[in-house]
Amino acid sequence: MRRVAVVVAVLLVVPLAGCGFQQSSPAAPDGQVTVTPAAVPTDAPTSTPDAADGIAPGVALSGAVDPVALAEAHREALLGASFTRETTRLIEGDETTLSRTDRTYEAAPYRVEFRYSQVQNVSREYPVRSFATRIDLYSNGSTTVARFEDDGAVSYRLAPTEQFSPIIVGITGNERVSALTSAFDFEVRDGPAPGTVLLVGETLKRPSALDPPTLTSGVRNATLTMLLTESGLVRSYRLVYDVTLDDRTLTVVETMQLSDIGRTRIERPPVVSTGRRERQRRRGRPGAEQTTLTRWRRSEREYREKRERCRSLTPCRGCALRRALRTRWWRVSRRRRSDARCRR
């Protein structure tokens, strides 16, 4: 009977141990079996950057980059400061520049007020161009006035800022930072100044993230050098790669530079007053397009001048309407008071 009991005990212990069952210690004098617990398996470490060994938000010493975390840190670093951001995109052929696009962003703290300008020079050999050779925008946070110039023709547009959201979203460049850092495998190097590092990417893994020019294909020979601070602010970058257009090899060079952080001052450009005069002229033209727009804040001097004009013999339409309503109210009120006296 004792032999049968020992066999049954062994059969019960083995299934409970599983694959991690280890050899038991010698049996106790009373015949019981002592089992050593197996080690609990742990997950293998991932390549996600860790804050403990990171050199910047989303960037590890090994070169692993979290694009979303780095882009968010870049945006947060510029949120409460004014800054100027300049970008240039060159498309070069055989010792000639086929297209050059320069963009300048000037933003106030929290981007309540900003200016944007874009200048594009395109060669006749290049088949793609923007709808305007020059674009100038100014926004006070609620309304944006824009000036478009193309082949000498100038037009103006005054509209709510929401209609220019594609430009507003790209003010800090955080979306571009996220796209570029997701396209390469990086190597971390020392920066030119204390507190800065260089991300050097020479292995391209997502060509579509570079946003190559229209009608081109075959992205290759891509390199990216990005300078950032320990807080995650991307101060500058340089992107170079080759593409093909109609069996012709073109080189694309894209650069970005941040400057005057905390020192940028937004000045209202002449396009604001010019755009307002153009809008007033169009509104007075028969058949002109009428658009409901947010009013610009008038200064105290403009308000006083308007009030003096309305006191003259030829008031504006709004003041004339208000006077007519007040006169009608006075007449009706006087008639009612007269009727009340007659009833007495």
Residue extents of the structural domains in the chain: 54-259
Angle 248-252-257 from CA coordinates, rounded to 5°: 170
Helices and strands (H, E) in the chain, number of each type: 7, 13
Confidence (pLDDT) at 254: 98
Confidence (pLDDT) at 90: 97
d(CA 155, CA 95): 35
Q: What residue type is assigned to position 157 of the chain? A: R
Confidence (pLDDT) at 194: 92
CATH of domain 54-259: 2.50.20
Confidence (pLDDT) at 309: 59
Angle 60-229-223 from CA coordinates, rounded to 5°: 70
Tens place of pLDDT for every residue, the chain, 344 residues? 444 444 334 333 334 444 443 444 444 444 444 444 444 444 444 445 554 457 899 999 999 999 999 999 999 999 889 999 999 999 999 889 999 999 999 999 887 889 999 999 999 889 988 889 999 999 888 888 999 998 889 988 888 888 887 777 778 999 999 999 999 999 999 999 999 999 999 999 999 999 999 999 999 999 999 999 999 999 999 999 999 999 999 999 999 999 999 999 988 877 676 656 665 655 555 434 433 333 444 444 555 566 565 555 555 656 666 666 666 665 666 666 666 555 55
Closest C-alpha among 164, 165, 171 to residue 146: 164
d(CA 98, CA 324): 64
Q: What residue type is assigned to position 164 of the chain? A: F
